[in-house]
Structure 1
Amino acid sequence: MTSDHSSTHRVVVIGAGHGGGNVVALLRQYGFGGPVTLIGDEPAAPYHRPPLSKAWLKGTASAQSLALKPADFYATQNITLRLGHAAEAIDRDTRRVALADGSSIDYDTLILATGAHARPLPLANTARPNVLTLRNMADADRLKHALGAGKRLLIVGGGYIGLECAASARALGADVVVVERAARLLERVASEPIAGFLRRHHERNGVRFALGAQIETIEGEEAASAVTLVDGRRFDCDAILVGIGAAPNTTLAEGAGLACDDGITVDADCRSSDPRIFAIGDVVRRPHPLYGRSLRLESVPSAMEQAKHAAAAIAGREPPHPEVPWFWSDQYDLKLQIAGLPFDADTVVVRGDPETGSFGVYHLRGGSVVTVEAINSPPDFFAGKKLIASGKTVAPVELADPAVPLNGIVA
């Protein structure tokens, strides 16, 4: 834990996403009284990012509804905002952060919450005005302007971002084609029963898929107008959305000489190889006690948990108990909720009938649940989450039988 809790101890946070926005609030909640400064390269104060692919695209969310905190929160909590300012370098010897505008900010403790950036499409000639990614509000606005009745959107990548945007684009009347290089959707992040169900649901809503496919060329003089796949298929388009994963923003950390390995490596308290520098969020690789290995998890719940650990360490509080990782995705009228990670799972149990649109998929290892995936079934999600945390051994035959109450299995 940090030893200096005086009113002059300066905490500077770089990155105003979910991690950065939450950690400054938690520092005040945990009683930290020193100066707190939040640096963000976007002009907006911290905001919720998951709605960008859904409600924001469809025009059912406002900037006010997306804000993490009310507009006056930071002033009332004596948190200094430096928005629209990118951090360029960290001098660990002088404990100073240099900003792009030529100014600098001194720190006693620094928190890096620099997030991740969209992986670029590994093709030539992708720098076109209508080849888009989705990581922030500006990206979402560009995509929003490319959608509408009769517009043709080609999505590269059958992951969560791609599928959520496909659902939103269809709601706005756009024609949607999803190109995925794997043989199925969500290959790295969801089971086959879930992926197959989502594919069928999207197809019923008019989305077309090209699976096991890769783009060979992008056509068009300035803007992209069509793509040709390696197998010869060709699709006209008005815009291309690239959603093929994200890479951690480690440039600042690497420039400062911090230990990195597909993310900034930190300890359980989110402290980096420099004890005065913490790191949280998508940029972090952190040991997870439930799995006995270091993981880099890209999710809002993970960023919030890490913010709690870092704020507790800085404020001199006991660390919170480790949480079961969880994730979610909203597509059309479907809510997918996932808890846990299926490391070394040896048994898969489907509870309920997928054709009803409400079911759970449980992954077990040695008779204990390690992951649950639930479509429109909060009871399965919450029961699975409790079973993962407890490590209790369960009978697969009971888990598969909807007639057996979940409460009895969890108890």
Structure 2
Amino acid sequence: MTSNAMPPTARKTATVKNRITTAEQLEAIIGRPSAMVRKKELAELDDACRDMLALASLAGFGHLDAGGHPRTTMIGGSPGFAHPESPTRLAIATDLDVSGPVSFVFLLPGVGETLRVNGTVTERTPGRLVITVEQAYVHCARAILRSRLWSPSGQQRLTTGDPAQRGKDAPGRPAASRLPEAVGDHLRPPAHAGTPGQPPADAEDPGGPLSEPGVRDVLAATPFLVLSSWDGDGSSDTSPRGDVPGFVRVVDGHTLAIPDRRGNKRADTSRNLLTDGRTSAAALVPGSTDVLRLSGTAVPTDDPDLLAGMAQGSAVPQLALVVTVEHAEVRHNQALADANVWDASGHADDATRTELMASTTRQLAAKTPALRGLAKLLAVFARLLRRAIDATYRRALRKEGYDLPTPDTATGAGDRHVRQNG
């Protein structure tokens, strides 16, 4: 399905102030990505991408259904479920019946960086999709760091209800019983109007998709989601968003606002929304096998009142995405359960993370002649380079108002070390 026709709009459409409508407006706010960031964008899967795919056990997956409606879910279940058959041909183990443009965010448990891959389905057989790769990009660790997605401390207060019902859904009803009943103190959501995951007290129209069972519980607890969008040519992109729980603000029963904080200035999602408003997302809660799936339309805005309400410390987001939600549901996700990503014993170890750093260093050097002579040297000192980059990330995040302990890596392993020994 490659049609760019917009699906029917939701019953209620959000009124958005300071809506951004042009690329020029967008760049005036966030700037342009650096040449180094652009060099990380590939037209095929290189060795670094292959190394990441071999470790990835889960991916956020964006696609359009047969009616042209946006959909995002989690797929996978075990490392290597996505297998590169050539630099431009990627085989995915999944039972989903999908065609047309698709996009992925591959997650590597215990690793801060993610791998984004965009392409088109060119072959479908039972249990298998083949994707022609059009773009690959190693995404920086900020989303994982902000969310502390792989830190086991975020799961210490997880409750699961009836053990006999774990991993199961009641017929015709979302399973919300596996969601945390409390959020750890170290993951308190930012202060903003209204209770996290719930509309402010004066919000109109409290009904709508966001009042479906379990939806607001997930929104109050989630520190991480993957967000899919499409451009004017129909190409798909899925990117990670990580923050403290409650970072997604519920405006009313039909409307969400997602902060867009400082990053690499690519702004792929916002750029896509300028030409095609369709969007969808999948939100995770550490320790839970439930996934909240949302879909609708969205617009970027720099409305100062809205942004001020989503400040983290003294740092105000550059933009926000206002989403008119047409569909929302919480469901058990078998891929997430099979991947067992919340078990820290299965996370990548320090040696693996160091080798990934060496691999991505070689990737960048291959496209940067000035760095080619340093590539081998940088790879030798990959562990020190890993620590230096992690420290840079964390200094930047502390300036944004995030309370992050000093880690061993960008993945949360250092958080574990601090708590066990402090």
TM score, norm. by length of structure 1? 0.26
Question: Which structure has the larger Rg over C-alpha atoms?
Answer: 1
TM score, norm. by length of structure 2? 0.26
